Amino acid sequence: MPAVSVLMVFHRTTPFLRPAVQSILTQTFRDFELLLVDNGTGCGLGLLGEQVRDPRIQLITLPVNLGISAGRNAALAKARGEFVALLDDDDIALPIRLEKQVALLRSDPRLGLVSSRADRIDEQGRVTGREFSLLDERSQMVFSNYTMPAPASSYTGRREWFERFPFRGDFDHAEDFDFVARVAEVSALRGAPEILLHYRQHAGQVTRTQAALQIRRACAIRLITARRRHGRPENLPDALARIASGGGPMPPLVEVYADFAHQCLREGFPLLAVYHARKMVAVRRDGPAVLRALRLVAAALPRARGEAATLLRMFLTGPLRTHDLHPA
C-alpha cells in the first residue's frame, strides 16, 4: 500500500501536464501512487512520453469530461494511500512537498489537512509573486467562512476526510472551497511554513475562464457553510437556486452579491451580509451600487448584537483585518 495517493485530473492537452506529473515523480518522498484521471480527452498516457513507464502512475479514463469533482471522486475510489494529495494539472509540486506534509500529518493526529505556502509562476515557469496562504489553525478555520485559506493544489490530508466529504459537482470550479470548509468543521487544518507549490497562472486556467461561475458558486458555499456552522440544515437546493439563471442570462455579479447579502440578513448572518455588501462595491464602484451596499450595512447593524464595530470593520477593511489574520 502506498502512503500517499496523489490525485490529478486533466480534461485537455496542455504543455503543463508533463511538468506537473514530473514534479510528483521526482518527490523526495517516494512512497506514493499517482492517480491520473483522463477526463474525456481519450489521449491516455501517450501524452506523457517516457514518464508513462513509471509503475506508480495509474490511469483512470472517463468517457467524457464529467467535471473536476467527478474526476477526483473517480480517483478517490481507486486510492489506496493513507493520505491524499491534490495537484492540478498545470501546477508544480516542489520536491520536498510530500515529505514535509506527511511528516506534519504523522506528527499531529489532530490534523486533517495540511496546505503550504506557494509561489506564483507564469506559463514559462518563472516565479512572478507569492500566492495568498494562511498557515495557522485558527486562520484556516475562520477564513474558510469566506473562501480558500490556501491554494487548493497545496493540500494533502488524511484519506478519511476525502472519503467522508467527496467533492460535489454542483460546485465545480469552487469545489475545493466547499471541501475545505466542511473538513475545517471537524478537523484541524494547518499550513506548512515552506514554499511547497508553484501555482501557475495562464490564460486558460479555470480561475480565469470560469471566474463568474466560480464567484457565484462561492456565494452559495458561504451561505450553506454559515447554516452548518449555526447548527442548521444546508438546504442545498435553495442555495443552488440562487445562482441558477433559469435558462436566461446570468444576472450581474453585483445582483448576485446583493441577493446573498439580503438572504444572510434574513437568516441572521449579519457579518456575512456585510461581507457580500463589500463585494458589491468591489465589482461596481458607482454611486447606486455604493448606496445599496451602505443600506445593507445599515440594515445589518441593529442585528449585530453588540458587534457593530466588527461589521463596520468588515465593510471597510475586509475579513483579514476584521479577524486579525496574517497571510504568510
For 71-117, how does the pLDDT look when each residue is reduced to its tens digit (9 = 90+)?
A: 999 999 999 999 999 999 999 999 999 999 999 999 999 999 999 99
Q: Where are the domains of the chain?
A: 4-208, 220-322
Give the gyration radius of the chain's Cα atoms. 20
Q: Enumerate residues 6+ apart whose C-beta is below 8 A from 190.
A: 104, 108, 111, 113, 114, 115, 135, 136, 137, 140
- Residue 193 to residue 110: CA distance in whole angstroms: 18
- Residue 186 to residue 176: CA distance in whole angstroms: 16
Q: What local confidence, expressed as pLDDT, does residue 11 receive?
A: 85
- Residue 35 to residue 43: CA distance in whole angstroms: 15
For 4-50, how does the pLDDT look when each residue is reduced to its tens digit (9 = 90+)?
A: 999 999 988 788 999 999 999 999 999 999 999 998 887 777 767 66
Is a pLDDT exceeding 90 seen at residue 56?
A: yes
Phi, psi (deg, nearest 5) at residue 168: -105, 120
Q: What local confidence, expressed as pLDDT, does residue 209 receive?
A: 57
- Residue 59 to residue 53: CA distance in whole angstroms: 12
For the chain, the distance separating the N- and C-terminal CA atoms, rounded to the nearest angstrom, is 35
CATH class in words for 4-208 = alpha beta
What cell does 273 get? 451580509
Predicted confidence band at 246 (pLDDT cuts at 50, 70, 90)? low
Our separate counts of H helices and E strands in the chain read: 14, 9
Kindly state the average pLDDT of the residues 132-147: 98
For residue 165, the 8-state DSSP code is: S
Q: Which of 113, 130, 119, 126 is nearest to 192 (CA)?
A: 113
Is a pLDDT exceeding 70 seen at residue 251?
A: yes
For 149-189, how does the pLDDT look when each residue is reduced to its tens digit (9 = 90+)?
A: 999 999 999 999 999 999 999 999 999 999 999 999 999 99
Please check whether residue 328 is in contact with residue 117, taking contact to mean a CB–CB distance below 8 angstroms.
yes
Please check whether residue 76 is in contact with residue 52, taking contact to mean a CB–CB distance below 8 angstroms.
no
